[in-house]
């Protein structure tokens, strides 16, 4: 079996998030992989990697199909991803082939060639592709589900105020006030809700053989479709350094409004509110890394409506 190296940064993330349970999960990881190999008749084809909060191992099924074994410490977000992929059933997203929710394991279709959407330099084409993947994904959530709602996510703004004794903390006060007001207007006036990806951006849309472009790593959140565009408008990673960012965002908003049939002003409102919320999440999780989202919120606020 190929090596299963544990990157030090990944080990720190697991212990920071899960404490002793995270350390125990890391200790058991080789045994969990071995169990999955035996259960699903897999041949591992490369070493493991941990680009974020999960451990990824490439493999082949017994029929030769390339797959990805994705392992994480069992937690609600990973279970939500599993349930979202099962509900999408390969439409607009990588297909979920097997799963063990208690172990925190997903066996996924491997998307090949697998180039990320960020590899395309044509901004108009990139936005068009993202919109097509959104349309493919959206469908009503199942009648019985445990997915969180956009209301649940927006509640994070309350945590921001609690953290800073009612103040805005390091964030611009006018943006925090604006985000709160936008959420108050948008949440109760949502259109028909669907199961959203929740984190659909340039690094979670990959080139594939079965379909030109498919999504990976859904969060699984229920809300109106217009909510979905927020993550795309905060990416790619270096977006905050782009020249004339308000003009870039204005063009994106116009194109998304035209392609998806949503009101331009509502898209902008959702995007601003989510950018501030995303900044708070970065602060909450890491104490840093929130500046880019605030820059995006400022640029979106500067877009005329």
Is residue 2 very low, low, confident or very high in pLDDT (cuts 50, 70, 90)? low
Compute the distance between CA of residue 55 and CA of residue 138 in angstroms, rounded to an integer: 27
Closest residue by Cα to residue 96 from 69, 132, 64: 69
Residue 25 has what pLDDT? Answer: 95
Residues 242-287: tens digit of each pLDDT: 999 999 999 999 999 999 999 999 999 999 999 999 999 999 988 8
Domains and CATH numbers, the chain: 8-109 (3.30.200.20), 117-301 (3.90.1200.10)
Phi, psi of 77 (to 5 degrees): -65, -40
Compute the distance between CA of residue 138 and CA of residue 141 in angstroms, rounded to an integer: 9
Residues 128-187: tens digit of each pLDDT: 999 999 999 999 999 999 999 999 999 999 999 999 999 999 999 999 999 999 999 999
Kindly report the length of the chain: 305
Q: What ranges make up the beta strands (E) of the chain?
A: 43-44, 55-60, 66-71, 96-100, 105-109, 148-149, 194-196, 205-207, 213-215, 221-223
pLDDT at 50 over 80: yes
pLDDT at 195 over 70: yes
* pTM > 0.85: yes or no: yes
Contact 262, 188 (CB under 8 A): no
Is residue 52 very low, low, confident or very high in pLDDT (cuts 50, 70, 90)? confident
Residue 285 has what pLDDT? Answer: 87
pLDDT at 101 over 80: yes
Q: Cα 166 to chain center, whole Å? A: 29
Cα-Cα-Cα-Cα dihedral sign, residues 140, 146, 147, 153: positive
Q: How large is the C-alpha radius of gyration of the chain?
A: 20
């Amino acid at each position: 079996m190929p090596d299963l190296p544990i990157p030090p940064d990944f080990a720190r993330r697991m212990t920071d998030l899960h404490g002793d349970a995270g350390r125990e999960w890391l200790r058991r990881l080789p045994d969990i992989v071995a169990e999955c190999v035996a259960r699903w008749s897999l041949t591992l084809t490369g070493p493991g990697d941990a680009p974020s909060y999960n451990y990824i191992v490439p493999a082949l099924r017994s029929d030769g199909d390339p797959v990805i074994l994705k392992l994480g410490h069992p937690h609600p977000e990973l279970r939500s991803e599993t349930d979202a992929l099962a509900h999408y059933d390969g439409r607009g997203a990588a297909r979920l082939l097997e799963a063990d929710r208690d172990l925190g394991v997903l066996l996924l279709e491997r998307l090949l060639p697998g180039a990320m959407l960020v590899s395309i330099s044509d901004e108009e084409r990139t936005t068009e592709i993202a919109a097509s993947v959104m349309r493919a994904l959206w469908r009503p959530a199942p009648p019985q589900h445990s997915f969180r709602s956009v209301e649940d996510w927006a509640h994070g703004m309350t945590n921001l105020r609690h953290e800073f004794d009612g103040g805005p903390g390091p964030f611009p006060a006018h943006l925090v006030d604006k985000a709160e007001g936008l959420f108050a207007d948008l949440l109760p006036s949502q259109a028909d809700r669907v199961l959203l990806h929740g984190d659909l951006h340039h690094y979670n849309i990959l080139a594939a053989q079965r379909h030109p472009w498919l999504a990976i790593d859904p969060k699984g959140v229920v809300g109106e479709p217009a909510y979905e565009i927020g993550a795309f408008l905060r990416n790619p990673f270096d977006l905050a350094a782009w020249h004339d960012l308000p003009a870039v965002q204005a063009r994106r908003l116009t194109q998304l409004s035209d392609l998806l049939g949503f009101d331009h002003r509502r898209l902008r409102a959702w995007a601003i509110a989510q950018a501030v919320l995303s900044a708070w999440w970065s602060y909450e999780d890491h104490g840093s890394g929130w500046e880019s989202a605030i820059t995006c919120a400022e640029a979106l606020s500067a877009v005329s409506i």
